[in-house]
């Protein structure tokens, strides 16, 4: 992010770790709103204190951001709640990889015309009533305020051809009386257990972590077209978004098996 230090009193741009825009009234500037204030978080300290690294300051922000999330495992969102928390009652289709699945998905323009509502009671439309299963690789992941884990999955790193990725989500948990609860809980626990074992419990935060090498998984779940992103900016981290051709997701993931590096 470009930062001007044109006026006296601004920090050295090299010391800036984060630029946090705030709108009128002190709230963080909502999407699209022009910021009124900026906080420029730096790693500058008093002369008598040891200067922290920018990474250390970033880590502290990461911990802070994690604390701001709604605690627990429950789904905290409202948009298309019914669809996001349920597993379609249909047979599973097996695919060779992410690209093979994407090739079968209805085009964006077709789905836009359906004008799928985004209220909490919005259930799956016919095109979304599909369950899929495949081997894939987690390239990046983040956690959302509603407790969903956004996983960006693609083909094997040595698959050749153009890379292609799509979003699959480990949904925040539904109420315990929902039929899908046990499966969604088991999928989240498999993910967390793997991270506890391989990454010392270092789960992703609110911005994307990338994994090198990507994590091999066997994954199952229901299809979901993210109507809230029919127009405008799309999900996914900047580095992978150019190769994410759809806003279709596997959402929720109902089963996941993760494999450590060979």
Pick the binder of another protein from 30, 50, 103, 176 (CB under 8 A).
30
Pick the binder of another protein from 241, 245, 255, 258 (CB under 8 A).
241
* Dist CA 192 CA 199 (whole Å): 10
Q: Is 160 left (phi over 0), alpha (psi -120 to 50) or beta?
A: left
112 in contact with another protein (CB under 8 A):
no
Pick the binder of another protein from 163, 183, 192, 258 (CB under 8 A).
163
What does the block give as tokens for 131?
């369950």
55 in contact with another protein (CB under 8 A):
yes
25 in contact with another protein (CB under 8 A):
no
Name the residue nearer to another protein (CB basis): 129 or 234.
234
* CA dist 227 → 42, 105, 147, 167 (Å): 38, 14, 19, 14
With contacts defined by CB under 8 A, name the span among 99-107, 173-181, 199-207, 217-225 that binds another protein.
199-207
Q: Where are the beta strands (DSSP E) in 25-124?
A: 37-42, 92-95
61 in contact with another protein (CB under 8 A):
yes
What does the block give as tokens for 178?
């929902």
89 in contact with another protein (CB under 8 A):
no
235 in contact with another protein (CB under 8 A):
yes
Give the CA-trace dihedral at 76, 145, 80, 226, to 10 degrees: -160
* Dist CA 206 CA 237 (whole Å): 11
Binding site for another protein (CB under 8 A): 1, 16-21, 28-33, 54-55, 58-59, 61-62, 65, 139-140, 142, 150, 154, 157, 163, 165, 198-200, 202, 205-214, 229, 232-241, 243, 260-262
């Amino acid at each position: 992010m470009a930062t001007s230090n044109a006026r006296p009193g601004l920090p050295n741009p090299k010391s800036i770790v984060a630029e946090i825009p705030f709108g009128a009234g002190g709230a963080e500037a909502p999407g699209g709103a022009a910021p009124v204030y900026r906080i420029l978080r730096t790693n500058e300290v008093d002369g008598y204190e040891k200067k922290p690294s920018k990474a250390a300051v970033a880590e502290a922000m990461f911990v802070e951001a994690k604390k701001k999330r709604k605690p627990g495992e429950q789904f905290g969102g409202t948009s298309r709640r019914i669809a996001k928390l349920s597993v379609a009652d249909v047979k599973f289709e097996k695919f060779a990889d992410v690209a093979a699945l994407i090739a079968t998905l209805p085009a964006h323009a077709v789905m836009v015309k359906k004008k799928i509502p985004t209220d909490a009671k919005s259930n799956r439309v016919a095109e979304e009533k599909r369950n899929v299963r495949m081997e894939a690789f987690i390239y990046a992941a983040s956690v959302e305020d509603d407790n969903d884990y956004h996983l960006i999955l693609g083909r094997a790193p040595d698959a050749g051809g153009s890379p292609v990725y799509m979003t699959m989500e480990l949904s925040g948990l539904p109420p315990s009386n929902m039929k899908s609860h046990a499966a969604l809980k088991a999928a989240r626990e498999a993910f967390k257990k793997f991270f506890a074992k391989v990454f010392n419990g270092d789960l992703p935060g609110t911005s994307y972590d990338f994994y090198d090498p990507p994590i091999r998984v066997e994954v199952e779940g229901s299809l979901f077209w993210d109507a809230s992103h029919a127009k405008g900016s799309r999900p996914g981290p900047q580095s992978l978004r150019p190769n994410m051709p759809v806003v279709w997701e596997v959402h929720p993931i109902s089963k996941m098996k993760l494999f450590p590096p060979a």
